[in-house]
């Protein structure tokens, strides 16, 4: 099911609900939050496995996919993204859900668990430090303005995919990601670069899974140990790669980590 809702500040937010579980059962719900410059289709390789057991909701973050684009004069913040996710959970009527966030979607997921603990049953983050403040991401923006978004992604693809990646997947990623509005992406990235909420992570009380690329440079791999030390009842898994896009490049390992984590959390 594809649908939209109107956010508290009047923006149309798109989401998809997929449920192929037996109709006589009550499946638990997973909310998937995609990375910056992505959209809900980025989870395509996860869906066949997740849908065997879970109801899955995929939201397009504001300014991405089929969701509305904030005007330049409209406010934009991480808190607004969190409000959108919290509103969607309420609309889903599930009370509490399992929240999974990739990269910037992981920033939203972490803040959702901090600000709305009553809505988050478990938290799983992939390649998602607590904000982007200590990264080199601000250097992306002048380069994107100079050569364009797709050429920039092609030139820096080694930061996102390693040599094991399917070339067709990489091409699709560049086409999909490069179709975003460069001005909004600059606004989005530069805003995320103002955030470092490492010290707030002690407020996360739900069971938490942290999955990271062990050698990545975008989010700084050494931050994940600090995250695990601050979040009670958390566990850390590494994928031995320098590529940031672990959810795209290593989907089956990422999904299996999630299924194992949820199985233990529910036992």
Q: pLDDT tens digits for the chain (267 residues)?
A: 799 999 999 999 999 999 999 999 989 999 999 999 999 999 999 999 999 999 999 999 999 999 999 999 999 999 999 999 999 999 988 789 999 999 999 999 999 999 999 999 999 999 999 999 989 999 999 999 999 999 999 999 999 999 999 999 999 999 999 999 999 999 999 999 999 999 999 999 999 999 999 999 887 788 999 999 999 999 999 999 999 999 999 999 999 999 999 999 986
User: Superfamily for 2-135+195-266?
Assistant: Alpha/Beta hydrolase fold, catalytic domain (3.40.50.1820)
Residue indicated by tokens 């992939």? 126
Q: Where are the domains of the chain?
A: 2-135+195-266
Q: Which residues of 192-221 are buried (b: 16+ CB within 10 A; e: fewer)?
A: bbebebbeebebbebbbbbbbbeebebbeb
Contact 29, 56 (CB under 8 A): yes
Task: Give the three-class secondary structure for 253.
Answer: helix
Residue 182: closest CA among 148, 152, 146: 148
């Amino acid at each position: 099911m594809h649908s939209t809702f109107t956010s508290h500040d009047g923006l149309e937010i798109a989401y998809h609900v997929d449920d192929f579980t037996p109709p006589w059962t009550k499946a638990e719900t997973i909310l998937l939050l995609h990375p910056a410059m992505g959209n809900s289709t980025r989870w395509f390789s996860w869906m066949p496995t997740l849908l065997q057991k879970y109801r899955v909701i995929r939201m397009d973050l504001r300014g991405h996919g089929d969701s509305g684009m904030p005007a330049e004069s409209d406010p934009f913040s991480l808190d607004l993204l969190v409000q959108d996710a919290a509103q969607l959970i309420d609309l889903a009527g599930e009370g509490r859900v399992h929240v999974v966030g990739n990269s910037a979607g992981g920033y939203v997921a972490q803040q959702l668990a901090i600000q709305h603990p009553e809505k988050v049953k478990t938290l799983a983050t992939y390649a998602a430090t607590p904000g982007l403040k200590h990264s080199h991401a601000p250097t992306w923006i002048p380069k994107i303005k100079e050569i364009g978004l797709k050429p920039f992604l092609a030139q820096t693809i080694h930061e996102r995919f390693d040599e094991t990646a399917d070339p067709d997947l990489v091409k699709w990623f560049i086409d999909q990601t490069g179709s975003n509005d460069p001005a909004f992406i600059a606004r989005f990235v530069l805003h995320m670069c103002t955030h470092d909420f490492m010290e707030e992570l002690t407020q996360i009380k739900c069971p938490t899974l942290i999955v990271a690329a062990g050698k990545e440079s975008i989010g700084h791999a050494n931050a994940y140990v600090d995250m695990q030390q601050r979040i009670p009842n958390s566990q850390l898994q590494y994928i031995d790669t320098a590529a940031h896009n672990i959810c795209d490049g290593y989907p089956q390992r990422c999904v299996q980590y999630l299924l194992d984590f949820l199985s233990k959390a529910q036992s």
